[in-house]
Amino acid sequence: MDSEIQLISDGEGLAVIGEPTAVERFLLAEGLPSKDLGLPRLPTVLSAGAAVAQAGSEAAANSGRWVKLTKESAQLVKKYGMTESKTPGVSHAMVGKPGSIKAWLQIEKGAGSLLSNPALLAGAAGIMAQVAMQQAMDEITDYLATIDEKVDDVLRAHKDAVLADMIGVDLVIEEAMTIREQVGRVSEVTWSKVQATSVTITRTQAYALRQLDALAEKLEHRTKIDDLAKAAKQAQSTVQDWLAVLARCFQLQDALAVLELDRVLDAAPDELDRHRLGLRAARRNRLDLISRSTERLMDRIDAAAGAANTKVLLHPSTSRDVVYASNDVGSTVSDFHGRLGIQQSRQALEARRWVEAAAEARDKVLGMGAEGVDTARRLGNETVDRARSMTGKLSDGLAERTLHRRRDKDRDG
């Protein structure tokens, strides 16, 4: 059937494959944005026999679009009740539109299913993983453009060799991605140029994470309000730089994974599924590592803001500066988390106004009742009496010293 399309999900994205017009109508009906899946590459990466090659050619002749798995597209997966395939982590379904313009119905998977072959599903899943990572890379590019952060400038500002090496790695990987786009594959020669770059990227990522941890430690060990303010302002001025470096590291690691999958598709297609799942696990571990470090920083600066709020009566201006710095850092980290797909929630702390703090102190006194007020008055009176006593002693001392000076003057005269 011309209206027949196939859906494939790998838990991160959804592939829609079929006759171009049918695919376009389906995506339009569901209201989902998409990007090209790159199906024509399937025949070039599969060489497991004539039957698979033929099926791959047929699949490549169809249109393939990739949809990022969001709340809306996840509902689509649930709607069509996709079933698990023999390929790990991949589910699929076949739908058709037998006459109704509004309703797309799931149909039985028959022999005509282009992706019923495990090798084809594995190849399609590998390509889907690449498209997902390229989408993430594009989002990080948008993030860096939004914050107007030039990572090269940040790297050059530091004389550490670890950061300096990252500039060279950046150029090598971008060159390999350009060659891949032109040639359509990653040759052994191209791969040999980039395969060792992961060490430098990982080292740079660790360096940036250590800088964030150092900022968190400074905030944790400051108790005086002036010291808290200084540490909070330092975090406010430098966090964005280190997050930009982390974002670029993550982007380059995704680019390296795209190249790596191409190399496996070309050299060892039988290992594609295991390699794809391994790369996904490694990527998740990197996200967890970054999340722990940034969340630790946010916890420390939130605690600093909380401590500053308790001292607003004595230090109104400094306390306000700490809270504002905390909210600025929190907003910066939240934006960074959103771009990398890290789930987290944080409410901005509002700087307590001096008047509100004073009113709260007054309410606490009033809330103590008559006995409490009497106690407060008694304590106040005692304080006044002590002050008067000290004033009297001071006055007596001054008078006595004045009298001595006069006597000495008269005797000398």
Q: Could you tell me if 341 and 316 are in contact, meaning their C-beta atoms sit under 8 angstroms apart?
A: no
- Residue 40 DSSP symbol: G
Tokens of 146: 């939004």
Distance, CA of 212 to CA of 112 (rounded, Å): 55
Tokens of 300: 């420390």
pLDDT of 242 reads 92
| Burial category of 303 from C-beta neighbours within 10 Å (exposed 0-12, middle 13-18, buried 19 and up) | middle
Tokens of 137: 């890379």
Write the DSSP assignment of 51-98 as a string of letters.
HHHHHHHHHHHSEEEEEE--HHHHHHHHHTT-EE-SSTT-EEEEEE-S
pLDDT of 379 reads 40
Q: Could you tell me if 290 and 200 are in contact, meaning their C-beta atoms sit under 8 angstroms apart?
A: no
Distance, CA of 162 to CA of 201 (rounded, Å): 9
Residues with Cβ within 8 Å of residue 319, at least 6 apart in sequence: 225, 308, 309, 311, 312, 351, 352
Q: What is the pLDDT of residues 68-108, one digit of tens each?
A: 988 888 887 888 878 888 888 888 888 876 555 456 666 65
pLDDT of 91 reads 87
pLDDT of 251 reads 95
* Per-domain boundaries in the chain: 5-123, 147-357, 368-413
Q: What is the pLDDT of residues 305-338, one digit of tens each?
A: 888 878 876 778 888 888 888 889 988 999 999 8
Distance, CA of 254 to CA of 12 (rounded, Å): 14
pTM more than 0.85: no
Name the stretches of the chain with pLDDT < 70. 1-2, 43-61, 97-116, 148-150, 152, 154-162, 313, 344-413
pLDDT of 50 reads 44
Distance, CA of 309 to CA of 352 (rounded, Å): 6
Distance, CA of 142 to CA of 135 (rounded, Å): 11
Distance, CA of 122 to CA of 86 (rounded, Å): 9
pLDDT of 380 reads 46
pLDDT of 373 reads 47
